[in-house]
Structure 1
């Protein structure tokens, strides 16, 4: 838990966009890991196994009826419009990082998850492929499309800044 706790919370946050729910998922993940440790086969690294459990739990929440009927978009906008920084914003740091975080959270989940796993968790394409149960070429394609979407978001914000 000490070694992978932060990674689990960040991955859950990237899926759910809610710090409290991410922390709840992290607790649930480690309880599951403790109870299911005997099922760990060692095919992948322990980190990959834990992150797979995290991703699956987050996907279950996103599919649930209760989650689909609660709108978080307004909460996210409120978070970015706040005058005082939230803990997540302080962690992100400078204005550029805040813009990056905002743009990352605006991406669809399938792009956000591969960016997070590749750049923040420093997993290799193969490890991400195993973790998400998709082909390596799909991971590469999602990474490329995610980078293109981020680039378009930045170019769009620069043009808006020039017009203002």
Structure 2
């Protein structure tokens, strides 16, 4: 990738990519590392005229995270929990100021990984269904159905909390 294109992509997508990485790993330090490694990979292999740079970056970040989990599991690392703990309250306070949005974000993080990924990509990362389809390897119809079901489960959780 050319220097100017990489700098432009970094400025445009760094924050989105960091938030996506944070939603995957729930660790600010690891999210920084995943973001840096993703842009390093972009420097090495992404063509400047590649369509949908953002989608490519998100896919690389996701794959790096899953590769890291597989390596840790194979190495017998017992620090890889089945379920990650809730993110530190300070991180959420900095990222999401409004109380309702914070509750919504926490509820999204408590959903299954598949539901969480679809909702975060669609609403927070503003990826169209076609990009989510390419990123997840699902058909556009399956993505739409998954979004509908994830919204329904999120709505049910929110109604229980607000009731």
TM-score range, shorter chain: 0.7 to 0.9
Instruction: Tell me if the contact between 2:55 and 2:131 (Cα under 8 Å) persists in the aligned partners.
Output: yes
CA distance in 1, matches of 2:85, 2:54: 31
RMSD: 2.3
CA distance in 2, matches of 1:33, 1:123: 19
Instruction: Tell me if the contact between 1:129 and 1:135 (Cα under 8 Å) persists in the aligned partners.
Output: yes
Secondary structure in structure 2 of the residue aligned to 1:112: helix
Q: How far has the Cα of 1:115 moved from its partner?
A: 0.9
Instruction: Tell me if the contact between 1:17 and 1:105 (Cα under 8 Å) persists in the aligned partners.
Output: no
* Aligned equivalent of 1:76, options 86, 109, 119: 86
Q: How far has the Cα of 1:149 moved from its partner?
A: 1.2
**2:65 is equivalent to residue 55 of structure 1:** no
TM-score w.r.t. the length of structure 2 is 0.81
Task: Name 2:136's counterpart in structure 1.
Answer: 132
Task: Name 1:150's counterpart in structure 2.
Answer: 154
TM-score w.r.t. the length of structure 1 is 0.81
CA distance in 2, matches of 1:117, 1:67: 29
Provide runs of 4+ in structure 1 moved above 6 Å.
none
Q: How far has the Cα of 1:94 moved from its partner?
A: 2.0
Task: Name 1:14's counterpart in structure 2.
Answer: 23
Structure 2 unmatched runs, 5+: 1-9
Task: Name 1:31's counterpart in structure 2.
Answer: 40
Instruction: Tell me if the contact between 1:62 and 1:68 (Cα under 8 Å) persists in the aligned partners.
Output: no
CA distance in 2, matches of 1:4, 1:72: 29
